Structure 1
Amino acid sequence: VRDTLDRSELRAVQTPQVFRGDLLRRVHFELDGDVTDDAAMLEQLGIPVATVEGDRENLKITTPSDLAVAQALFDLRSGSGGT
């Protein structure tokens, strides 16, 4: 551990990220560097990135266990109880 970040300044972000197609094509054409995602690419070119309120139940499903959690949440919300 190098530093402990001030958590009051941190925000969680979610996918999907949405951008105008022309801006996205531009940044992919103009930048050839080490960036973490499309938002970072736009920021490197000085293009402001806006955020919108998300939802904790907007789950990213990558692994089988993610799918199980999403299915359980769906069952709970739909009242199906997994049946």
Structure 2
Amino acid sequence: MHLIEMIWNGLGGVGPQAMVLKICFMLFLVALFWIICEFAKHIITVGARFLTDALRYLAVVVRGWPEGPEEERSKPKETVR
């Protein structure tokens, strides 16, 4: 934060172009913040997909592979005595 304040105060003594330089500096900071937020969103999305897949595989390991309609028809029916 101190570095940003030093740059901001240093841009003030440049002359009449100081306002343009400060606007460019603010746009740079906004763009940097945007990039960081997009990167965080991407990491969260990838992590959520990875977690979802991991939980699906865990469910298959715990419960076994779900049977499809073809496998249910070909199985002999068990009778209860």
Structure label with greater radius of gyration: 2
Specify the TM-score bucket, using the shorter chain as the normaliser.
Answer: under 0.3
Structure with greater contact order relative to length (CA < 8 Å, sep ≥ 6) = 1
Task: Specify which structure has the higher proportion of helix.
Answer: 2
Question: TM-score with structure 1 length normalisation?
Answer: 0.24
TM-score (norm 2): 0.24
